Structure 1
Amino acid sequence: MGHNFFPLFVDLNGKRCIVIGAGNIAYRKIKTLLNYGAKVEVITKDVAEEKILELQDIKISTREFSMEDLKDVFLVVAATNNSDFNRKIYKACNENNILVNNMTSKVDMNARFAAVYESKSVQVAVSSKGYPKKSLEIRDSIKKMLEKN
C-alpha cells in the first residue's frame, strides 16, 4: 500500500543532498536540486551519464555508498538501477528521518519530486502518485491555462 503524501514546498538552498547513482534519471534529479540551491554530492561507483561530469557546483564521489554518508543529510535520491539496494537506502533514511526519493519504487520513499510550473507570480507542483508522465501532462495543461490569462 502506498503512502499518503503531504504536499509541501521546501527551501533547499544550502541543504546537503546526496544522489546515489549517476545515470540519466540521476542527472535530471541533480539538475533539479541544483536549480533550487541544494549542495549536491553524487555517490556512485561509476558515472553512466557523462553529462553529470559537466555540471558545476557538485561533488562527485566515485566509490561505494556507505551508511556513514547519511550523516547531516537533508535529502537523498536513491537513483541506482538496483531496486533492492534503493530499498535499503530508503529504509535507512526513513529510520533516520531523512527525506528520500527512490527511483525504482512508487512506495519505498518518503518524498516525491513534483512536476513544477513557475512564473513570476505562481508556483504549481503536480504529483500523480508515482506516475511522472501523467504529472507532466497535468503540469503542461495548467501552464497553458495560466499563460492564457
Structure 2
Amino acid sequence: MENRFFPLFVNITGKKALVVGAGKIAIRKVETLIEYGARVSVITREIKEERFLSLENIDIKIGEFDETLLDDVFIVVAATDNSEFNRYIYELCNSKNILVNSITSKDSMNCRFASILETEEYQIGISAKGNPTKSKALKNRLLTIIDK
C-alpha cells in the first residue's frame, strides 16, 4: 500500500535530526535541515561527500548506526545506499513515532522533504510523490509566475 502524506509545515528549530549516511543526497538533506535550524548529527561508516567537512554546527561520527542514537531525535534521514538497511531504520523509527525519511524508497518513510520555494510573501512546499526532478521543475515554473 502506498503511503499518503499530509502536507504540513513544521518548525524544526533546535530539534535533533539524525542523518545516517554521508553521500550526495545526504548532504542536500543535511543542508536543508541546517538551514531550517535543526541540530544535525550524522553517523556514517565513511564520508563520501567532501562538502560535509566544511559544514559548521554539525556533529559527524564515523561508525555504525545504533538504536541508542535515536534517543530524543525528532527526525531521521536514512541516507545510505543500502535500501534494506534504510527500511530497517524506517521500521525502527516508525515504531518509536520518530519522523523518518528514506532516500531509497517512496514507501519506507513517514515524511518527505518537499522542494521549497520561498519568497518574501510565500513559502511553498512541492511534492511530486517522491520524484524530486518533477518537484524541482514545478518549483522553477512557479518561480516565473511569482516573480512577475
TM-score by length of 2: 0.99
Q: Who is 1:33 aligned against?
A: 33
Letter of the 1:83 counterpart? S
For the pair 1:21 / 2:35, whether they are aligned, the reply is no
Gaps of 5+ in 1: none
For the pair 1:6 / 2:15, whether they are aligned, the reply is no
Letter of the 2:144 counterpart? K
Within a 5 Å distance, the mapping from 1:9-88 to structure 2 comes to 9-88=9-88
C-alpha distance in structure 2 between counterparts of 1:86 and 1:35, whole Å: 24
Letter of the 1:47 counterpart? I
Determine what percentage of the aligned residue pairs are the same residue: 50
Q: Who is 2:106 aligned against?
A: 106
- Any runs of at least 4 consecutive aligned residues in structure 1 with deviations exceeding 2 A, and if so which? none
C-alpha distance in structure 2 between counterparts of 1:69 and 1:2, whole Å: 28
Question: 2:130 is paired with a residue of what secondary structure?
Answer: coil
Gaps of 5+ in 2: none
Offset at residue 67 of structure 1 (A): 0.7
**Over residues 72-128 of structure 1, what are the superposed CA-to-partner deviations in whole Å (9 max), with x where a residue is unaligned?**
000000000000000000000000000000000011000000001001111011001
Offset at residue 50 of structure 1 (A): 1.1
Question: 1:19 is paired with a residue of what secondary structure?
Answer: strand
For the pair 1:123 / 2:123, whether they are aligned, the reply is yes
C-alpha distance in structure 2 between counterparts of 1:124 and 1:30, whole Å: 20
